[in-house]
Amino acid sequence: MNAPLRLVVAGASGRMGRMLVEAIAAADDLVLAGALDRADSPALGEDAGAAIGRPQGVAITADLDAALAGADVLIDFTRPEGTRAHLAACARHGVKAVIGTTGFSAAQKAEIAAHAERCATVLAPNMSVGVNVVLKLLDVAARALDTGYDIEVIEAHHRHKVDAPSGTALQMGEVLAAALGRRLADCAVYAREGHTGERDPSTIGFSTIRGGDIVGDHTVLFAGTGERIEISHRSGSRAGYAQGSLRAARFLATVSSGLYGMDDVLNLR
């Protein structure tokens, strides 16, 4: 049997971090080698499993070099500025990375791509199998409904989410625009207010809802004349994101460099 993959979770006390610590503890082929949080986090020094009632013998730290020494893969669910610092440390230690964080600028995405040329990285705004299958369905639907259908992406998330539209909604927009031979930057409409004029049929609209504890809902509406098609995904828990992240970490064990998406991990290309 191979030695277990040594994983470090960044953002260990966050919503996704806690879910990942739990999922790693339940997997025979993985071990939690480190748990990172911000230098001012009240969770520093606590056992990474304390919040889920399953101590792991790994204390949460802000010391990137200590946490990453000897690790195989970092799993990052933090904020873009945190991810940048974590990747710099990954480069020093030759540690591969699974990045679930969203809200990157185009320049930050380019930095991640450059990093991945040396150190294999999976970057995906949504790790769930279901959403990644939906992305394939959207490609098929957009090609078939390329005229006469107005396309709107509607997403809903919990009140704590800080970026909008969600990374998933933006990736859906990219898939739809590519299928239609458009550039999302040229055709996206992110807000409407006041006298907007009639809808331009070449646009892709986005609507964002924030409230309560909604884990993550995404719907793409193709509105035609006399009919509407809706393709929806709803997450009822964060477990699917965690399991997808672990699949991405196992995938990284098979490659040495390059930037990958969940379509590579799930063999959906």
Ligand X SMILES: O=C(O)C1=N[C@H](C(=O)O)C[C@H](O)C1
Ligand Y SMILES: NC(=O)C1=CN([C@@H]2O[C@H](COP(=O)(O)OP(=O)(O)OC[C@H]3O[C@@H](n4cnc5c(N)ncnc54)[C@H](OP(=O)(O)O)[C@@H]3O)[C@@H](O)[C@H]2O)C=CC1
Q: Binding of ligand X at residue 219 (CB under 6 A)?
A: no
- What is 192-208 written as a DSSP string? --SS--SPPTT-EEEEE
Considering only residues 33, 90, 112, 127, which one is a binding residue for ligand Y as defined by CB under 6 A? 127
Considering only residues 125, 165, 173, 205, which one is a binding residue for ligand Y as defined by CB under 6 A? 125
Other Cβ atoms closer than 10 A to 21: 27
Considering only residues 24, 71, 74, 102, which one is a binding residue for ligand Y as defined by CB under 6 A? 102
Q: How far is the CB of 16 from ligand Y (least distance, A)?
A: 3
State which residue has the least CB distance to ligand Y: 14
Q: Which of residues 114-143 bind ligand X (CB under 6 A)?
A: 125-126
Residue 253 labelled as part of a binding site: no
Distance CA 19, CA 17 (A): 5
Q: Which of residues 7-46 bind ligand X (CB under 6 A)?
A: none
What is the DSSP-derived secondary structure letter of residue 152? E
Q: How far is the CB of 153 from ligand X (least distance, A)?
A: 11
Q: How far is the CB of 169 from ligand Y (least distance, A)?
A: 11
Strand partners, 30: 5
Q: Are 100 and 245 in contact (CB under 8 A)?
A: yes
Counting DSSP H helices and E strands in the chain, the numbers are 9, 12
Comparing CB distances to ligand Y, the nearer of 65 and 198 is 65
* Strand 216-223 relative to strand 228-235, pairing: antiparallel
Considering only residues 101, 132, 171, 219, which one is a binding residue for ligand Y as defined by CB under 6 A? 101
Strand, coil or helix: what is 102?
coil
Residue 57 labelled as part of a binding site: no
Residue 124 interacts with, from ligand X, ligand Y, none (CB under 5-8 Å by kind)? ligand Y
| Residue among 101, 208, 71, 210 nearest 152 (CA) | 208
Considering only residues 161, 240, 246, 252, which one is a binding residue for ligand X as defined by CB under 6 A? 161
Q: Give how far Cα 70 sits from Cα of 34, 64, 90, 100, 213, Å.
A: 10, 12, 11, 22, 37
Residue 22 interacts with, from ligand Y, ligand X, none (CB under 5-8 Å by kind)? none
Residue 269 labelled as part of a binding site: no
Residue 157 interacts with, from ligand Y, ligand X, none (CB under 5-8 Å by kind)? ligand X
How would you list the strands of the sheet with 259-260, edge to edge?
A: 60-61, 30-36, 5-10, 73-76, 96-99, 121-123, 259-260
Q: Binding of ligand X at residue 49 (CB under 6 A)?
A: no
Q: Are 99 and 10 in contact (CB under 8 A)?
A: no
Q: How far is the CB of 207 from ligand X (least distance, A)?
A: 14
Q: How many residues does the chain have?
A: 269
**Residues annotated in a binding site:** 11-16, 37-38, 100-102, 124-127, 158, 167-168
Residues engaged in binding ligand Y (CB under 6 A): 11, 13-17, 37-38, 41, 77-79, 81-82, 100-103, 124-127, 167, 241
**Residues annotated in a binding site for NADP(+):** 38
Residues engaged in binding ligand X (CB under 6 A): 102, 125-126, 157, 161, 166-168, 216
